[in-house]
Structure 1
């Protein structure tokens, strides 16, 4: 297979996985620091999806470190297909969680006072 930037088993792939992991941890940290976040299902869903993203990204980062350490090529079509499907699933869950959380924020910040008496 062709060597691409960010491919599994490369230094750039490792850096991208670590970035994914750090941003997911940051997202969890921001949500947990908010008071009363657990009262809203969308925010709990965001934490759950980011937790899954942390586990997936950290696991693949460990696999990248191992592959770099033993100088093993991870350009196997079956492995790359597994990574693509896993990334697709976690990306879809993360997008859905981020959109639902943003929808709740917009609802409470702008639309909640729509029916208030003047």
Structure 2
């Protein structure tokens, strides 16, 4: 059933419900953050900005190339940056020509790409945070290294992952409702 009954799910004035108008249709295509919307563009811009910040903060450290987790963060965030930047351009194009991105093949590509980049981003952020905690709490290397820089880079990676997670869930929701 594609309709919501106004008695079960009241919208607007709760006292004046007129059943003669017919059922209220609620679609999932109108949620903010979907591909081809302003909200979707904002999520993608946030993703690639946080990914770029994580890369820049990590790369400006002197010793990041000596540790695999830090190199992995740079690689994963580079992929995240490219993916999100490409989809931000696609969202901008869709907004400019006033067309939606609701093709099921395109949405399935977005879902798989978002899941892959989200998994890589979370793994990179967790590994960087874990190594940084190891250096700070257990080995006491932070006096010799730039631990705060690495912690900030991991935080930017987590924020990028949070936004890609939101995008992937919204896109999956739209794709599943097609």
TM over 0.5: yes
Is the 2:36–2:92 Cα contact (8 Å) retained in structure 1? yes
1:89 is the counterpart of 2:116: yes
Q: Which residue of 1 is the match for residue 98 of structure 2?
A: 71
Q: What is aligned with 2:143? A: none
- Deviation of residue 3 (structure 1)? 2.1
Normalising by structure 2, we get a TM-score of 0.61
Does the CA-based 8 Å contact 2:33-2:41 persist in structure 1? yes
Q: Does 2:29 align with 1:10?
A: no
Task: Show structure 1 runs of 4+ deviating over 4 A.
Answer: none
Q: Specify which structure has the higher proportion of helix.
A: 1
* Alignment partner, residue 35 of structure 1: 62
Which residues of structure 2 form unaligned runs of 5+? 1-27, 141-178
Match of 1:104 in 2: 131
Q: Shift of the alpha carbon at 1:2?
A: 2.0
Q: With structure 1 as the length reference, what TM-score do the two structures score?
A: 0.90
- Stretches of structure 1 lacking an aligned partner (at least 5 in a row): 114-118
CA contact (8 A) 2:32 2:38 kept: no
What RMSD, in angstroms, separates the aligned Cα atoms of the two structures? 1.2
